[in-house]
A and B are shown apart, each in its own frame.
Chain A
Amino acid sequence: MLELLLQNLVNGILMGCVYALVALGLALQFGVMDIINFAHGEFVMIAMYLVYWISLYLVIPGSVTSLIVAPIFFVFGLVVYKLVIDRIVGTYPLAQIAATIGLMVLLRNLALAAWRAQPRGLKYEVLRGSISLGPVVVPISRLTAAGVSIATMLALHWFLTKTRIGLALRATSDDMQAAALLGINVRKMFAVAFGLGCAIIGIAAAFIMTFQQVNPEAGLTWGLISWIIVVMAGLGGVSGVLFSGLILGVVEALEITFWDPRASLAVMYSLFILILWVRPRGLFGRR
């Protein structure tokens, strides 16, 4: 029993890092623009499909496709921003939410129509096998994914604190009006934040595909995970997102060990509502 718990906990921690990475893009977008992208999960799902197709046709390992998918998704983010998000910034909250819900419904059902419900998994990948740490077996793919997640988070943290654009983004997220007064092109910051968030999704998707398969239904789960983490993280920055991800990963691990793996989703939803009840400002927020 202890071994099972240990195994699941290690898995949970590794997955927690990945969860954090997936949520990171959403957190960035939310922090800067104050808009929750309901289609976030669907973006992840589409990125995962993209990883699949590129890996298949270019015959390269899934993990390597991240180098291609990330920039593609950055552009994708800019396009979505221009066509959709830009129009709803600052309007009624109902309209903002409705627009991204529409996007979610559209993408999800287009994916279902185009690719059917059959799951797809990578054909080519180098990150195979696992290593043993005592009683615990750690798949290399998950270990790498967690490592890449942490690396990306560090990179983003560096970007936000040490570069001019990063500081401009933070200024915009702190106080839009003040940032505008300082000469920052707020709309451009929004576009950058959105694109960057999507690029991060691209990276995450590539590495998730190394140990999971994708199907159009996956969007809902990834979306939920991201929203929970964003609520938990509040405005606590990159570290807040990481810790929230880890908490979620550990909770899931405990849930799988002591209860029913199938109830995983319900537990997460309940956790989500619980946090909204108890700590709506998040566990790590500054405000």
Chain B
Amino acid sequence: MRVRDLKPIGVIVVILAFLPAIVRFNNYYVLLLTWILYYSTLVSAWNIIGGFAGQLDLAAASYIGLGAYTMGTLMIRYGLTPWIGIPAGGLVAVAFAVLVGYPTFRFGLREAWYALATISSVVVLQKLFLVWESVGGPEERYLPPYYGSIYYLRFRGYTPYYYILLATLALTLILNVKIRRSKMGYYLLAIKENEEAAEILGVDVRKYKLKALMTYAFVTGCIGGIFALISGYLHPHHFGTWTSLQVAILGIVGGAGAGAIFSLPVTTFIIYSISEVLRSTLGGWIPGIHLIFYGVILMVVVLLKPEGLAETYSEFYGRIKGALTKKAGGMV
């Protein structure tokens, strides 16, 4: 069962691996693809808290920023390799997640407050790092330029980062699959559906929400570290509320849920590409057109199918697979 589940991941990875070659390693396109991959990975991580546990977490930017600053500061001050710095960033993100997320998982507190608390945390952190002169401050802190070093994971050009993110995406997808097939996955889904019923079936709601939160925060924090490597500097505006919103919107529209594990990278790809096209063509006349686009698709999706698109995508894939197997003459 495990191997069969991993097949789609393999397909995705192989296709994505060839993309930079297809665009002839053109810097602009590779950067674009890198960002798409970046968001895909974030969304897949977010799926753990948003899709499985059903919590609308808007703190992704907090974890990204914390991961970035942790990895970056360790590298700048102590010359520490990101191979350690990145997971360290993940741990810092986890600590923060527990701080903000834990009290809101108290019984009876609404999910809406969780969304608000998490997005508030992003703003608080941004202000905090703005005034925290020793680590942050209003000026960019550049990472040391050890280019071409695998020890420091600093490269000129974006292609190596593309593949780093690809590997991260693969790992995150595998994590999703693992959770789906495990007790944790079933428990989270039960929690998402009906907490009260889940409890008397033996589900410790708080413990599992926390587990989901910590897992997602760790991965997102690590991605934050990678982000710092790609952008090459640290700045409080890494704590951007729009990033959190974008991740959540991509997740929801992409069909957050247990059934959508493989559709998420695909839909992220599509939506991000469309928004980039909109931004580059109409962005001059209508500033923020791509943001309006995000707002529109979110509302359309949520109003048409409040229960989520995970099923829709599963059905969609099922039908495509059915059509393909028919064409292949019944050969599966």
Q: Are any A and B Cβ atoms less than 8 Å apart in their complex?
A: yes
A residues with a Cβ closer than 8 A to B are 34-36, 38, 84, 87-88, 91-99, 101-110, 112-113, 116, 224, 227, 231, 263, 265-266, 269-270, 272-273, 276-277, 280-281
CA gap between A98 and B124 in the complex, in Å: 22
A280 near B109 with CB under 8 A, answer yes
Among residues of B, the one whose C-beta sits closest to the C-beta of A114 is B286
B117 near A273 with CB under 8 A, answer yes
Stretch in B9-17, B49-57, B79-87 with 4+ CB within 8 Å of A: B49-57
B303 near A87 with CB under 8 A, answer yes
CA gap between A57 and B111 in the complex, in Å: 43
B299 at the binding interface (Cβ < 8 Å): yes
CA gap between A54 and B50 in the complex, in Å: 42
- Assuming the contacts A266-B128, A276-B104, asked whether A88 and B302 have C-beta atoms less than 8 A apart, the reply is yes
Per a CB cutoff under 8 Å, which of B121, B249, B256, B307 touches A105? B249
B103 near A277 with CB under 8 A, answer yes
Interfacial chain B residues near A266, Cβ < 8 Å: 123-124, 127-128
B306 near A88 with CB under 8 A, answer yes
B6 at the binding interface (Cβ < 8 Å): no
A98 near B252 with CB under 8 A, answer yes
B residues with a Cβ closer than 8 A to A are 50, 54-56, 100, 103-104, 106, 108-113, 115-117, 120-121, 123-124, 127-128, 131, 192, 245, 248-249, 252, 256, 286-289, 291-292, 294-296, 298-299, 302-303, 306-308
Task: State how many angstroms separate the Cβ of A220 from the closest Cβ of chain B.
Answer: 8
CA gap between A38 and B291 in the complex, in Å: 16
Interfacial chain A residues near B289, Cβ < 8 Å: 113
CA gap between A38 and B104 in the complex, in Å: 18
Instruction: List 27 A-B residue pairs with CB atoms under 8 Å apart, sorted by A's residue number.
Output: A36-B113, A87-B303, A88-B303, A92-B308, A93-B110, A95-B302, A95-B307, A96-B112, A97-B112, A98-B56, A101-B249, A101-B298, A102-B295, A105-B291, A106-B292, A106-B295, A106-B299, A108-B291, A112-B287, A113-B286, A113-B289, A263-B131, A276-B103, A276-B104, A280-B108, A280-B113, A281-B108
A101 near B303 with CB under 8 A, answer no
CA gap between A270 and B155 in the complex, in Å: 38
Among residues of B, the one whose C-beta sits closest to the C-beta of A88 is B306
Task: State how many angstroms separate the Cβ of A261 from the closest Cβ of chain B.
Answer: 13
Top 7 closest pairs, chain A to chain B, by CB: A106-B295, A102-B298, A105-B295, A266-B127, A102-B299, A95-B306, A36-B112
Interfacial chain B residues near A272, Cβ < 8 Å: 116-117, 120
Task: State how many angstroms separate the Cβ of B241 from the closest Cβ of chain A.
Answer: 8
Per a CB cutoff under 8 Å, which of A35, A36, A92, A273 touches B307? A92
Task: State how many angstroms separate the Cβ of A78 from the closest Cβ of chain B.
Answer: 17
Among residues of B, the one whose C-beta sits closest to the C-beta of A99 is B302
Interfacial chain B residues near A105, Cβ < 8 Å: 245, 249, 291-292, 294-295, 298
Interfacial chain B residues near A97, Cβ < 8 Å: 56, 111-112, 115
Among residues of A, the one whose C-beta sits closest to the C-beta of B50 is A94
CA gap between A267 and B27 in the complex, in Å: 42
CA gap between A272 and B124 in the complex, in Å: 11
CA gap between A273 and B124 in the complex, in Å: 10
Interfacial chain B residues near A92, Cβ < 8 Å: 54, 192, 306-308
CA gap between A35 and B306 in the complex, in Å: 15
Task: State how many angstroms separate the Cβ of A91 from the closest Cβ of chain B.
Answer: 4
Interfacial chain A residues near B116, Cβ < 8 Å: 36, 38, 227, 272
CA gap between A93 and B131 in the complex, in Å: 36
Interfacial chain B residues near A108, Cβ < 8 Å: 291
Interfacial chain B residues near A98, Cβ < 8 Å: 56, 248-249, 252, 298, 302
A276 near B298 with CB under 8 A, answer no
Task: State how many angstroms separate the Cβ of B161 from the closest Cβ of chain A.
Answer: 29
A102 near B302 with CB under 8 A, answer yes
Interfacial chain A residues near B115, Cβ < 8 Å: 38, 97, 101
CA gap between A99 and B111 in the complex, in Å: 14
- Assuming the contacts A36-B116, A101-B248, A102-B295, asked whether A265 and B123 have C-beta atoms less than 8 A apart, the reply is yes
Interfacial chain A residues near B123, Cβ < 8 Å: 265-266, 269
Interfacial chain A residues near B117, Cβ < 8 Å: 272-273, 276
CA gap between A276 and B124 in the complex, in Å: 15
CA gap between A77 and B109 in the complex, in Å: 27
CA gap between A122 and B141 in the complex, in Å: 42
Interfacial chain A residues near B55, Cβ < 8 Å: 94
B124 near A269 with CB under 8 A, answer yes
CA gap between A206 and B290 in the complex, in Å: 31
A276 near B113 with CB under 8 A, answer yes
Task: State how many angstroms separate the Cβ of A228 from the closest Cβ of chain B.
Answer: 9
CA gap between A114 and B165 in the complex, in Å: 37
Task: State how many angstroms separate the Cβ of B138 from the closest Cβ of chain A.
Answer: 12
A91 near B298 with CB under 8 A, answer no
Among residues of A, the one whose C-beta sits closest to the C-beta of B289 is A113
CA gap between A102 and B253 in the complex, in Å: 11
| Known pairs A231-B113, A273-B120, A276-B109 / 17 extra A-B pairs, C-beta < 8 Å | A34-B110, A35-B112, A87-B306, A91-B307, A92-B192, A94-B192, A94-B308, A95-B302, A95-B306, A103-B299, A105-B249, A105-B294, A109-B288, A224-B120, A227-B116, A280-B104, A280-B113
Interfacial chain B residues near A102, Cβ < 8 Å: 249, 295-296, 298-299, 302
- Assuming the contacts A88-B306, A113-B292, A272-B120, asked whether A280 and B127 have C-beta atoms less than 8 A apart, the reply is no
